[in-house]
Structure 1
Amino acid sequence: MSSARTGPGDRPGDPPSDLDWVRVHPITPVVRGWKVIAVLVVIVMQQFEFDVSNAARVARVVGFGTVGLVALGVAALGFAYATLAWRMTRYAVDDDAIYLHNGVLFRRQRAARLDRIQGIDTIQPLLARMFGLTELKIEVAGGADSAVRLSFLRDQDAQRLRNELLARAAGLRSGALDDGPAAEGATQGPGTPAPAAPERELVAVPAGRIIEGLLRSIGTLVALVLTVGMVVLALAVREPALTLSLLPAFIGIGGALWGRFTGEFGFRLAQSPDGIRLRHGLLEARAQTVPPGRVQAVRLRQPLLWRSRDWWRVEVNIAGYAAQQDAGKETVLLPVADRRQALLALWLVLPDLGVDDPARVLDEALSGSGPGVGFVTSPRRARWLDLWGWPRNAYLATGRALLARHGLVTRTLVVVPHERTQSIGLRQGPLQRRLGLASVDLHSTPGPVQPRVHHLDATAAGELVTAQALRARRARASAGPEQWMRSPAQPPGDALPAGPGPDPGRPPGEELQR
């Protein structure tokens, strides 16, 4: 990498003039150039209406040498563009923000405030991994394209910068880093890079469980039934070609299952002072760090075919992540987990549920039906809208969060911390109006979790809207700082935040009560 000192920034909105600007790794054009080549090839094929069937014929007409020269020219053009993009890309960091300048035809200047960081990911595509390079993705609260991507850095540089950004986002500054968690034997002082915070692995999801979870999915079951049905039909009418009509569907379903398996392969969940750490990926290795308090909502789902195993999928809403192309990989806290592990993941997000017996409350929320332990349920007349599942529709407001459950075939529990409630809405369709029912939406940041309390009595729904608005306002007033390590430092040598942490050897109910 190379660096350059900035000149004076006189224009409004310019970054500070005393920043040290750094370029990404010079091998970046090699890693990224193939993407440009792929785009150019697709454009050429579309313009000249090439396809696989006539490619050989065209090559014979114009000559294989000419085709080779054109391919070399396209490759040179792709790598030249990637090199120019590398020359125009640089970044800098200070105590308040990370700045990125990039763009060839259209120059872009971005500044991401460190106290708004929602998560930091390190991504290693297969080709980048071969060169020992890593992409650093800094996600901040915002809409589409809110992430700052540094592609690519050396592995060591990416990890060092990630540690530094997390430390500064937590409220630590150069010269004050010795107050934070340090690696064993590390020495710190003014200007010393922040060491990697220690971590403790809590859950490792075996590959066999991920495969079995995919095989037990509804999509796999439908594909299997269609396959058997089409084979039987083809044999009955003696037309084997009928099975080819399902080929596009097989490719789509197979691609989706393969993408999910490779994305969730080697999934590991760990606890660290700088947040929840997730690692996963077969072809593209990802390491994600979600700082404390950045999770806006949690959902635990149990499809019907997982019930015999008591497996659950844990997903979260994090501000900014839903707008990303690979959001499906970044909003999963655990892909396939038993109940103890799922509750452990929930504990990391919300250590205090605000009830005297959290184990009993969560057991009722996950598997119960009816008004047990204080849940407010749908009235009996809701059966006209939800024939079998209406007793499962219920909510419970605890001291720290609102729990909403629903679903008979697919059991679902949504947990929204009071301070993370963005707004509240009341929904009432024509049939609900006639039956005196209403549903309540707790608006969260975009993501896989859409908190809703289904088919309440209209009066009870109105009371929930009023009460939850008050709870959310009070919780936000007493919420901690955005920079979560500005509190007094913990005793030296502590590897994890003060207070007992999750112990994988104990049942989750005991953890939640500690």
Structure 2
Amino acid sequence: MSLESDPAQLDQSDAPHSAVPDTQWHRFTKATVLGDALKLVGFLGLAVFYGAKQILENDGIDELRDSVSGISSFILIILAAVAAFVLIVTVFSAITWRFKRFALVPDGIHLQSGVFIKQHVHVRWDRVQSVDISQNLVARVLNQGSVAVESGAAGTDDVELGLLTMKHCEALRQVIMEASAAARLGKDPEFGDWTKGSAVTAQEFPIYALEPRRLVLTTLYSVSGIAGIFSLAGTLLVGLVLDGFAWIPFLFVVLGSAWSSIKKLAKTWGTKVFLASNGVRIRSGLVSTFAQTVAPGRVHAIEINQPRMWRRLGWWRLSVLTLATGEVNDDADALVIPVGTREEVERMLWVILPDLGVDDAQAFLEEAFAGSGGSVAFTPAPEQSKWLDPVGWRSNAIALTRTVAVLRWSGFWRRSTKFVLHDHYQSLALGQGPLERRLELASLRFCMVNVAVIPIQSHLRLDDAVRLIGNESVAGKVRRAAADRESIEAWRLRVGVH
């Protein structure tokens, strides 16, 4: 199934897309229509599941049994109605597909869609933050996928280009990444004949691969995993004790608890990380596959954390904060290494972070990951903070180096270390809750662009927090004035990618 060019004439009165040449517009493959119809079928299936769950919660198992008995006599009518509804949606999807197209031109990416209400999205090349490829189950069967372009603009979704053949997806991603890099250097973007798949992805060098054993064990060695095991055991016990269908409500509880863990496991399954010419490339997924490229120069912060249950195993997790991921947390979209050894996460840290800004980097990292109390580099949380953080107050501390702020935190469930680049935060803030004011404590916040979760070092001594915010403000100004962010060319040279 090949990519189709669209010769249709655009409405010249409809700026800004009237400047896009007609020959530059392209349509997606016809399999896009099938994908939309199957999404509806999945939605109907979820609606039936949650409807049954709601009946159980409100009226009990008897009402659910009566409802099923009543429906069974009209099952053919219901199936016919569903089939007709799916057919109507498929026809509407086909019409929508005719009006959806995209173009790559010197000023950026243009996406046009809408039948009655027209929509035109324009992403400038210098605003592109990341370019990812995803495949759901249907797309994998058809060897097709979608290209998601993230601009990082607040309140906007990704620009999704698809479905396209995988050959076109790979070529399109490479072209967009190269055009974005050229635009940031003040050069004119070049597209080549990407519709023939000529812009193939450059050579990739593997740096990390997630073993299935690790992923399964860490899923079990988690709060949700242990809760799921106990829920399943309780359901089996109830099923043996109670007669009839009384155990079914407990089964719904188990299924709901397990669903979140299964989704997360499926999304991170088979994660592999490569070094490519345009950044760190991550591939993962069991049912649906996802390929993400993280440009090192676009990373604002890095988090390396270790859940308490992983300590005996010696495993860690590494996440990044960019405008594309939006937050440093356990979300699989932000994960680079879902489960790794200390050596693996440190290697990835050096790939992303060019300079830690200290003379003895290895000794500093040892203190950042496993240190306790204060030192020459780290300013600790005071003893009175134990009333607010009784478990981890001895480990909580912050350090400011020449290039990054390092936030060390330890809690009951996990410990973490965050690296916030001086030249990537937008503003700083001090916060005090009522208990912090009484204890003369304060929290230092690093406010980022379009980020839901803000890196915070909590419960510092008030005098220390005031001093640190002043020092960090100066460090941020110095780093921005230096304007020596590592270019993609310098990154390739440092990590040995050509």
TM category, shorter: 0.7 to 0.9
Gaps of 5+ in 1: 179-186, 491-495, 503-514
How many angstroms does 1:245 deviate by? 5.2
> Do the aligned partners of residues 39 and 430 (structure 1) sit closer, same or farther apart at CA in structure 2, a change above 3 Å counting?
closer
Pick one of 430, 436, 461 that aligns with 1:432.
436
1:116 to 116, 127, 130: 127
In the superposition, relative to structure 1, how do residues 95 and 477 fare at CA in structure 2: closer, same or farther (>3 Å)? farther
Which residue of 289, 293, 296 maps to 2:297? 293
What code does the residue aligned with 2:167 have? Q
> 1:302 aligns to what SS in structure 2?
strand
Per mean C-alpha deviation after superposition, the further-off stretch among 122-131 and 6-15 is 6-15
Q: After superposition, where does 1:98-497 map in structure 2 within 5 Å?
A: 98-171=109-182, 194-225=199-230, 246-322=250-326, 328-409=331-412, 410-446=414-450, 450-479=454-483, 484=487, 497=492
Please give the per-residue CA displacement for 1:342-394, whole angstroms capped at 9, x wherever unaligned. 11222222121111111111111111111135100012222222223212111
Specify the code of the residue in structure 2 equivalent to 1:215: L
Q: 1:228 to 1:128 in 2, by over 3 A?
A: closer
Paired with 1:352 and 1:7, the residues of 2 have a C-alpha distance of 50
Q: Are the aligned partners of 1:36 and 1:79 in contact in 2 as well (CA < 8 Å)?
A: no
Give the secondary-structure state (helix, strand or coil) at the position aligned to 1:321. Answer: coil
Q: TM-score, normalised by structure 2?
A: 0.85
What's the RMSD between the two structures over aligned residues? Answer: 3.4
Distance in 1 between the 2:65 and 2:235 partners? 28
For the 8 Å contact 1:99–1:111, the answer to whether it is kept is yes
Partner of 2:91: 80
Whole-Å separation in 1 of the counterparts to 2:476 and 2:435:
30
Is the CA contact (8 Å cut-off) linking 2:301 and 2:419 kept in structure 1?
A: yes
Aligned partners of 1:105 and 1:395: how far apart in 2?
A: 55
Shift of 1:205: 0.7
Q: 1:132 to 1:380 in 2, by over 3 A?
A: same
Shift of the alpha carbon at 1:14?
Answer: 3.4
Contact 1:37 1:78 in 2 (8 A): no
Instruction: Give the letter for the 2:180 counterpart.
Output: A
CA change 1:3–1:200 in 2 (3 A) is: same
- Structure with the bigger RCO (C-alpha within 8 Å, sep 6+) is 1
Deviations 1:129-161 (A, max 9, x none): 111111111111112333100120011111111
Gap change, CA 1:35 and 1:52, over 3 Å in 2:
farther
Residue 498 of structure 1 aligns to a residue in which SS? Answer: helix
Change (3 A) 1:501 1:352: farther
Runs of 5+ in structure 2 lacking a partner?
56-62
Is 1:499 the counterpart of 2:494? The answer is: yes
Q: Does the CA contact (< 8 Å) of 1:9 and 1:17 recur in 2?
A: no
Map 1:8-23 → 2, pairs under 5 A: 9=12, 12-14=15-17, 16-18=19-21, 20-23=24-27
The count of corresponding residues between Structure 1 and Structure 2 is 476
Deviates more, 1:423-432 or 1:191-200: 191-200
Deviation at 1:328, TM superposition (A): 2.8
1:60 corresponds in structure 2 to 73
